[in-house]
Amino acid sequence: MRLWPPSLWLQLNIALPRAHILRAFSSCWRQCQVLMHELGLDGPLVTPLRERFLQPLMALLYPDCGGGHLDSHRAFVVKYALGQDLELGCHYDNAELTLNVALGKAFTGGALYFGALFQAPAALKDPLEVDHVVGQGILHRGGQLHGARPLGTGERWNLVVWLRASTVRNHLCPMCRQKPDLVDDEGFSDGFTREEPPTVDVCALT
């Protein structure tokens, strides 16, 4: 994927007022982020990516956490830069599975580090570290404790796709680990559905 210049976001803000750059809500997650669905890129880009490529792969790699039943997502681009946000503390994703793609630009540092599934941050010892490589993505479980080391130099832009399977989260919320109370909503509704989606035939997709 090619990284758009930062000036493009300002142009989109003028043309599409809803495509605003957000400051994220969490104290440990404050990066500038652009939501892909607000740019109109869910339909032409992210949904085909999930359905045609990621779901068959995840069905093989992560069948135990809904990899074959991915039926929604939340995708956004985040930016790390000197003088802005440099790192990201330990956290879990509101997703069954996560794809994190390094888009650029030139940077040093900022490696991802991983702990165990639903591990308390205070218990994190000897984490596994993975360096970002521009143009490559990292797949992991959303419930795996992880964070980003401080950026050393330059700027780092990442496309993050939270992949969700309603067959999993309808029975157990990935954030509070409790059975959710479902209410009516629009869009992907954070991946929850009232009806179970049909099972995907992995062989037919591949």
Q: Distance between CA atoms of 127 and 129, rounded to whole angstroms?
A: 6
Q: Which of 46, 112, 114, 43 is nearest to 77 (CA)?
A: 46
Higher pLDDT, 44 or 171: 44
Please state, in angstroms and as integers, the Cα–Cα distance from residue 76 to each residue in 33, 58, 69, 79, 204, following that order.
6, 20, 21, 10, 29
Q: Which of 58, 56, 103 is nearest to 76 (CA)?
A: 103
Q: How many CB atoms lie within 10 A of CB 137?
A: 18
- The whole-number pLDDT of residue 48 equals 94
Instruction: Report, as an integer, the average pLDDT of 98-111.
Output: 90
- The whole-number pLDDT of residue 90 equals 85
Higher pLDDT, 173 or 63: 63
**pLDDT tier at 201 (50, 70, 90 boundaries)?**
low
Assess contact for 141 and 97: CB atoms under 8 A. Answer: yes
Q: Which residues pair with 130 in a beta bridge?
A: 112
pLDDT tops 80 at residue 50 = yes
pLDDT digits (tens, 9 = 90+) for 12-28: 444 444 443 333 333 34
Q: Which of 24, 26, 4, 1 is nearest to 155 (CA)?
A: 4
- Longest C-alpha distance within the chain, in Å? 49
pLDDT tops 60 at residue 3 = no
Name residue 149's amino acid: R
pLDDT digits (tens, 9 = 90+) for 74-86: 999 988 888 766 6
Please state, in angstroms and as integers, the Cα–Cα distance from residue 130 to each residue in 33, 54, 85, 109, 197, following that order.
22, 20, 19, 10, 34
CATH superfamily, region 6-205:
Jelly Rolls (2.60.120.10)
Q: Is the dihedral of CA 141, 118, 185, 88 positive or negative?
A: negative
